[in-house]
Amino acid sequence: MAYALSASSTPLNARFPNLPPNGGASQGPHHHHHYHTTPHHHHHAPRGSQSAPVPSPKISPKVHDIQAVLDEAAKYPRKHLGSQLYEATTELPRPNSSLDDQFGYASKPKPLPRFERNPVNCTFTIRVPRFHLKPRQRQQIVLQRHLWGARIYRDDSDPIAAAIHSGWIRGEWDDTVDVKMLDPQITAPNDPSDAEDTLEKAPIAPVTPPADMDLQIDILILPRIHEYKATVEYGISSRKSKSHDGLSYVIHKMRWVEGDYGSRGQERTAAALKRRLDASATLLSLQQGGQHGGDKAMQAFSGPAKLQV
C-alpha cells in the first residue's frame, strides 16, 4: 500500500524552529580568495603553546542490510493490526543504580500485544502522547536503553528508543554531554521535508519533537532474527541479544498529530474522561464511608464482592 504525504499547514519554522525555511538552503561559510601577482608571504605572530582546535569526529552513517528479512516477511499479506497507547510502567529504583538515583525512579515501556493471527509483514501503530517526548523523558529513555538490535529490533524494545536509534527523532542528554562528540548527524541541518506531518522514511537529520504535538509511530512487524546487534547510533546505545522468543520490528513511518492526550499522556476522549470520573467518585465514596461508617466501608471494598440484584 502506498502512503501519501500530508503537507503541513503550519509554517515549518513555527512548529520545527530548528529547520530551515521551506525551499531555502542554509548558506555555508563564505571564503575570500586573494590573488597575488608576486610571491606573497603571510606572517603570523607566534601563538605560544596554544594548541590547534580538535575537529569533531567524522562518523559515517551505519548501513544495515535488512533486505533479506524484508523479503522473507513480504511472503505474508500486509494488514494493519490496530494501535495501542504508549505507556511506561514506573518501578522503584534498583539498588546501587546511579541511573535510577538520577531520576528517582525506573520505567519500563508497555510491551506489544499478543496477536491472534500471524502478524509478520503487518503494521501496528504506537500512539505516543507528547508528555513522553519531553526532553527529560527522552533523556531517561536514552539512558535506560530498553532496546535490542540495530534497525531491526526485538519486539519488546522501546519504540521511542528505536526511533531515536534509527535517526527519526532526536534524543536528549544532560549538560555534561557534548552532543557533537556523540554523533555529528545529531546536529546536522534538517531538510524542509523533515517537517512534514507524515514521514515515510527517516529524515535527513533527527527531528526534535515539537512541544505541542503527539506522535504516532507505525512499526512493521518482522520475523525473529538470529542475532540482534548492539550498536551506538545517534547518541544512544542498543543492546545485543541472541535469545528471544518473540518477533521483531522496524520503524515504518511516523505522523505528528494534534492528539487526544493531555500533558501527562492521559486520554482526553469522552470515554476516558468517564473512566477517570468514575474512579474519582469511587475514591470519594470510600473516603466518605471511612468518615461515617468506620471500617465497614473498607471491609466491603476489600472483601469478597457480593452483588445484590
Q: Examine the domain organization and report whether 131 and 113 are in the same domain.
A: yes
Q: Examine the domain organization and report whether 153 and 276 are in the same domain.
A: no
pLDDT, position 255: 97
Q: Examine the domain organization and report whether 69 and 112 are in the same domain.
A: yes
Q: Is residue 164 part of a domain?
A: yes
pLDDT, position 267: 53
Q: Examine the domain organization and report whether 228 and 290 are in the same domain.
A: no
Place of cell 603570523: 44
Q: Is residue 235 part of a domain?
A: yes
Q: Is residue 200 part of a domain?
A: yes
Residues forming a β-bridge with 123: 80, 220
Low-confidence ranges of the chain (pLDDT < 70): 1-63, 93-106, 259-309
- b/e sequence 224-243, b meaning 16+ C-beta within 10 Å: ebeebbeeebbbbebbebee
Q: Is residue 52 part of a domain?
A: no
Q: Examine the domain organization and report whether 136 and 188 are in the same domain.
A: yes
Q: Examine the domain organization and report whether 138 and 275 are in the same domain.
A: no
For 134, the grid coordinates are 519531553
Q: Which helix (H) or strand (E) holds 69?
A: helix 67-73
Q: Is residue 29 part of a domain?
A: no
Q: Examine the domain organization and report whether 222 and 274 are in the same domain.
A: no
User: What gap in Å lies between CA 171 and CA 44, rounded to an integer?
Assistant: 43
Residue 280 half-sphere exposure toward CB, CA atoms < 13 A? 6
DSSP string, 24-47: -------------SS---------
- Please give the tally of structural domains in the chain: 2
Residue 262 half-sphere exposure toward CB, CA atoms < 13 A? 9
Contact assessment for residue 103 and residue 139, using Cβ atoms and an 8 Å cutoff? no
Q: Is residue 204 part of a domain?
A: yes
Q: Examine the domain organization and report whether 240 and 190 are in the same domain.
A: yes
Domain boundary among the residues 257, 285, 302 is at: 257
Q: Is residue 143 part of a domain?
A: yes
10 Å Cβ neighbour count for 4? 7
Q: Which of 286, 200, 257 is nearest to 85 (CA)?
A: 257
* Residue span of the structural domain in which 283 resides: 267-294
The model's pLDDT over 180-220, given as tens digits with 9 standing for 90+, comes to: 888 888 989 999 999 899 999 999 999 999 999 999 999 99
Q: Examine the domain organization and report whether 114 and 71 are in the same domain.
A: yes
Q: Examine the domain organization and report whether 232 and 196 are in the same domain.
A: yes
Residue 1: which residues within 8 A CB-CB, separation 6 or more? 78
Q: Examine the domain organization and report whether 218 and 273 are in the same domain.
A: no
Q: Which of 171, 91, 85 is nearest to 129 (CA)?
A: 85
Q: Examine the domain organization and report whether 253 and 272 are in the same domain.
A: no
User: What gap in Å lies between CA 276 and CA 295, rounded to an integer?
Assistant: 25
The model's pLDDT over 217-266, given as tens digits with 9 standing for 90+, comes to: 999 999 999 999 999 999 999 999 998 999 999 999 999 999 665 545 55
Q: Is residue 85 part of a domain?
A: yes
Residue 65 identity (one-letter amino acid): D
Q: Which of 112, 116, 105, 114 is nearest to 127 (CA)?
A: 112
